[in-house]
Structure 1
């Protein structure tokens, strides 16, 4: 499982996406007429006669590669045909791919959107053909035609990230009690892409947790950049996060002061932030690396945690998320409503979308074996190498 390099040019990404779209069109055309297309009764049909379209945002993150593969494998194990496509972080490409899935007869759509507001016309087309739509991990906004949402408790992800930062700094213990340290500690904040609904949940959960410590002076955001619009990283790009950290060090920490911690919402951003810090001289005995959080337990970052470089990550088990997506898809194919465990939280601007939310786990160095290795998510050799097979 090798992710496309973060530095791949946008032209190459779009060329790859265009080729993938062509393959999708050919593959779906080959089975056109066999699937129910959403409009006919799928309840009694053989799985081999049904097609599920799976749209993932990018292959620049190993997390999304794992998600796509997990969903595909679990559906195929049940006998379904699967049209899996990655959009190369390009909104028009994803729109085109979803259009093709609808036109060529998908019976259910599972979509992890690049931009949660950019698929309104595609979702209307799906609704017109009675094709159920499952939003996968990222809520699709601005449309009544989102039938179900499977994700993790994203507000709690933000709470967990902020709590992990407080624990790493010694302001709080893992059980939530008061820590031995009092600060003040200089920290900087990062958020995800503003067009990703999850980024707002992550940031709001984190800020609710950090605010008392900022208010009492235990934490100091020296740059004074505390609004999500100031700290967001478009498309969750590692290079953008690295550049912003470099700019912060140049503009705010040119007086000899030091950064003690960084709230990072995603491991890819964390690696960019850490690179900027190391390039600026952090990471020595005299100038230790700041505490940097993360999310997704990407193998490169798990190695950094194991090596004492990154302080923590939030583990979201994509195997469980894929399983819930499959359960929801099968319920729709049987003309049933999937079971939700949250029917109040995820309002997409038009409706509250019934949701199934999964729990998350904070992973520090001493949790790697129990949480990631013993569960079979990674092997010890993969953690040591920083690369998954």
Structure 2
């Protein structure tokens, strides 16, 4: 395990954090009062303003990562910490350089959402050498012992939820999980995320385990024959890449008058590219668009769901994820171990990383109001416009 701050090191900022008298525990009402630092309230002998937390996010091309970075920064700054937030523009060398700089400039904790989960080994070793705790944020960092904690959602269950949403869209299941009235067979195509993102494998595994009985019985048929993650992956989760692949699938596998009747998509950005390809091929004109799943409840896709174009998305409340990152950061700063609710699942190839996993919600048109608007995640005006204010 990576060195834990305070073990055998001289008096430092982190050691002093454990000596004062101000309780810093943060609880999550949405999680029944439990959290990564639940029960670990601590105290500080040095002002939070003297402590810096480096936050490395992968890109600003996705609404989701912009929201994550903003939420983490705001929540940390609200507690008085200095925050060094950097976006890497989907460029691995840029992220490596930014993390190097955070370490050099004296970050006390690092929160990292990696572009490539295997590309930061030297940076993590440098952090460990300086006894800087590393929290992997939503994307597991692989092949390193120097990952101290992981905050995320239950990514296997995200895949299960996406597969079930596809089955609901096809009428094979109802939204409550009971059997639907449709019988099939249905022609479907499969998409996955970027192979260098550990989450993509969990999403796809959960989805395929759920769809397997339907594929085995030929209730679902993948006309292209592309059912392995290596065949359906989308590098860097790029919308344009997904659109091009969907166009190629329609040209090569559906040039005989048959139609694709459903698409498993793991992310809203890919979903929009897939939908554009379908629309350009005449789908949705005079008939319903085939069900296309998604993830992240991006506002452009929520509008599409509200308009009956995209069928569903998986809502991962990043506000709660940001809170868990803050809780874990404070636990480390207080010389304590963050509380995990999963210590078995996330093996990064070198160690099982203690994790705190949050639940997810499937959003259809019928529950946009309840899950996204009433919760304050989006406003009704934003949903109608398909644009964040």
Q: What residue in structure 1 maps to residue 33 of structure 2?
A: none
Q: How many angstroms apart in 2 are the aligned matches of 1:179 and 1:224? A: 26
Deviation track 1:205-234 (CA, whole Å, cap 9, x = no partner) reads: 000000100111110000000000000000
Show the 5 A alignment for 1:1-389.
41-43=16-18, 44-286=45-287, 288-389=288-389
Q: Which has the higher contact order (CA 8 A, sep 6+)?
A: 2
Q: CA deviation at 1:37?
A: 8.0
Q: How many angstroms apart in 2 are the aligned matches of 1:229 and 1:313? A: 23
Q: How many angstroms apart in 1 are the aligned matches of 2:195 and 2:342? A: 23
Q: What residue in structure 2 maps to residue 3 of structure 1?
A: none
Partners of 1:171 and 1:181 within 8 A in 2: yes
Q: How many angstroms apart in 1 are the aligned matches of 2:341 and 2:388? A: 33
Q: How many angstroms apart in 2 are the aligned matches of 1:169 and 1:45? A: 58
For normalisation by structure 2, the TM-score amounts to 0.90
Partners of 1:38 and 1:105 within 8 A in 2: no
SS of residue paired to 1:73: helix
Partners of 1:38 and 1:108 within 8 A in 2: no
Partners of 2:14 and 2:333 within 8 A in 1: no
SS of residue paired to 1:291: coil
Alignment gaps of 5+ in structure 2: 1-10, 19-44
Deviation track 1:351-383 (CA, whole Å, cap 9, x = no partner) reads: 000000000000000110000000000100000
Partners of 1:38 and 1:132 within 8 A in 2: no
Deviation track 1:280-321 (CA, whole Å, cap 9, x = no partner) reads: 0001124x3110000000000000000000000000000000
Q: How many angstroms apart in 2 are the aligned matches of 1:362 and 1:72? A: 27
* Root-mean-square deviation over aligned CA pairs: 1.1
Partners of 2:195 and 2:230 within 8 A in 1: yes
Partners of 1:52 and 1:107 within 8 A in 2: yes
SS of residue paired to 1:124: helix
Alignment gaps of 5+ in structure 1: 1-35
Partners of 1:56 and 1:111 within 8 A in 2: yes
SS of residue paired to 1:168: helix
Q: CA deviation at 1:174?
A: 2.1
For normalisation by structure 1, the TM-score amounts to 0.90
Q: How many angstroms apart in 2 are the aligned matches of 1:330 and 1:37? A: 16
Q: How many residues align?
A: 353
Q: CA deviation at 1:384?
A: 0.2
Partners of 2:121 and 2:144 within 8 A in 1: yes
